[in-house]
Amino acid sequence: MSNTSYNPYEIAQQQFDSVASKLDLDAATCELLRQPMREYHFTIPVKMDDGSTKIFKGFRVQHNDARGPAKGGIRFHPMETVDTIRALSLWMTWKCSVVDIPLGGAKGGVICDPRNLTEREQERLCRGYVRQLAKNVGPNSDVPAPDVMTNAKHMLWMLDEYETIHGSRYPGFITGKPVGMGGSLGRTEATGFGVIYVLNEALKNLNIPIENTTASFQGFGNVSQYAVRLYQQLGGKVVAISCWNETDKKAYTFRKLDGMDINALVSITDSYGTIDKEKAMGLGYEVLPGDAWIEQDVDILIPAAMENQITIENVNKISKQVKVITEAANGPTTPDADKVIADRNIFLIPDFLANAGGVTCSYFEQVQSNQNYYWEKDEVLEKLNTKMTSAFKSVYELSQSKGLRMREAAYVIAINRVAQAVKSRGWI
């Protein structure tokens, strides 16, 4: 873990500035796009089960809605900061733009640890969050979704509160809902599958058969679990997975050089993505330090946890065998580490392209909810694959024709689309 302090919002702005300077954007457009248009900061009083009242701090940041309603998850995390939320709102705008769906970017969060809250306390927190924002979000303005440590149950509580306040049905207000209550089939798999859809497309262009590759993952939450599943179905071999252990307050890397059994691992993993260390050792897994995932002699690294995980302090530990890094997490690579990766000519698929499967399927859910008509799972995943591979091809072709890195090419496409929408609306 890095000892260097990185501010994700400053990183997001730095990434924007480095590309905007090459796009000949006017100063006003740059100033508008490099920061959020709106921010809401609020407190949420929650009656706890023991009769006491606890005050939680919440945020909702809307970066830009020129291309459509703002879209973005709500995360519950004890270390949440408004700068992280700001950064994620920017990345959501570019994410929706690069896959060309008619949505803008937003993000929300509450500083809390749901692992230390009962189910009823979590429900009261969810309902309190919506009460503070009910006038500022909605199916035609800002559509939330699950994120870190939130799930379908939380989304349904939020939807119920929103509908209670407004006195009608608004299934398109929020996505990531349970299937059968307005949720879309395929949404659970969407982000993880999307990561592998673009990875597979990249390997084809690099002339690397996926069945000949090995991979190491950081994180074992929903995204990583489904990415591992599809990667293995396509013939790849996973040899290492790192995840956080809340009991020990540290991360561990679990390694099995002859390949991992995803079903066995999931069976000993809790709802927050923590693999049971003792049971894993009983199944023959090596237990290594948390950062060991990045040092493995594999072809592919997939950071699928939190931001700022590949830094200047550990980037040089990446094995010479690594050919591809696929950023399944948001902002996992710091700019200084990014330069080292570029110098080593490692092919990097940037986060807001690689993990756009989640918001793409959220968009599909939004469309279905608003139409009150639902698609079959195969149809959802087929549409998702089409969207993700099409976006990858556009970014890859631009990177090749203009001599740009994939991150730069993705930003060029995304920023240009948003800038054009801003200008077309007459905002600038």
pLDDT tens, residue by residue, 21-68:
889 899 999 999 999 999 999 999 999 999 999 999 999 999 999 999
Length of the chain: 428
Per DSSP (E only), the strands in 78-163 are 104-111, 142-146
Looking at this protein, which amino acid is placed at residue 35? Q
Answer yes or no: are the C-beta atoms of 128 and 44 closer than 8 Å. yes
The CATH 3.40.50.10860 portion of the chain extends over 38-180
The fraction of the chain above a pLDDT of 70, given in percent, is 99
Closest CA to 182 of 335, 398, 374: 374
Residue 4 pLDDT greater than 60, yes or no: no
Residue tagged active-site, from 22, 47, 54, 107: 107
Q: Residue 180 is which amino acid?
A: G
The Cβ of residue 23 has, within 10 Å, a number of other Cβ atoms equal to 13
The terminus-to-terminus CA distance of the chain in angstroms comes to 42
The answer to which of 199-208, 269-278, 319-328, 385-394 has the lowest mean pLDDT is 269-278
Angle of helix 357-371 versus helix 377-402 axis, rounded to 10: 140
Q: Quick check: 245 pLDDT over 90?
A: no
In order of 189, 356, 414, the CA distances from 385 in angstroms are 12, 11, 19
Mean pLDDT is lowest, of 229-238, 276-285, 322-331, 366-375, for 276-285
Q: What does pTM read for this prediction?
A: 0.91
Give the rounded distance of the alpha carbon of 400 from its chain centre.
26
Q: Would residue 107 show up in a list of annotated catalytic residues for this protein?
A: yes
CB atoms within 10 A of CB 331: 25
pLDDT tier, 128 (very low <50, low <70, confident <90, very high otherwise): very high
Residue 144, beta-bridge partner list: 72
In this structure, what token pair is assigned to residue 327?
A: 């950023």
* Segment 78-122, tens digit of pLDDT: 999 999 999 999 999 999 999 999 999 999 999 999 999 999 999
Q: List Cα–Cα distances, 278 to 51, 288, 336, in angstroms.
A: 37, 13, 37
Q: Which CATH class is domain 38-180?
A: alpha beta
DSSP 222-256: HHHHHHHHHHHHTT-EEEEEEEEETTTTEEEEEE-
The confidence band for 427, taking pLDDT boundaries of 50, 70 and 90, is: very high
Dig out the tokens for 196 from the structure: 């592998």
- For residue 419, the surrounding DSSP H or E stretch is helix 406-424
Please report the pLDDT score of residue 1 as a whole number. Answer: 41
Least confident of 51-65, 242-256, 313-327, 355-369: 242-256
3-state SS track over 211-231: HHCEEEEECCCHHHHHHHHHH
Check residue 148 and give its pLDDT.
87
> Rounded distance, CA 207 to CA 193, Å?
21
pLDDT of 351: 94
What's the confidence (pLDDT) of residue 174?
97
Res. 5: pLDDT tops 80: no
pLDDT of 213 above 70:
yes
DSSP state of 178: P
Per-residue pLDDT for 3 more than 60?
A: no
Of 130, 111, 116, the closest CA to residue 57 belongs to 111
The CA distance from 326 to 356, in Å, is 12
**How is residue 9 written in tokens?**
């919002």
CA count, 13 A, side-chain hemisphere, 104: 24
Q: Tell me where in the chain the CATH 3.40.50.720 domain(s) lie.
A: 188-354
**Residue 361: both structure tokens together:** 């399927």
Inter-residue contact 79 to 85 (CB < 8 Å):
no
Question: What's the pLDDT score for residue 280?
Answer: 87
pLDDT digits (tens, 9 = 90+) for 332-350: 999 999 999 999 999 999 9
CATH superfamily of 188-354: NAD(P)-binding Rossmann-like Domain (3.40.50.720)
What is the model's pLDDT at position 272?
A: 82
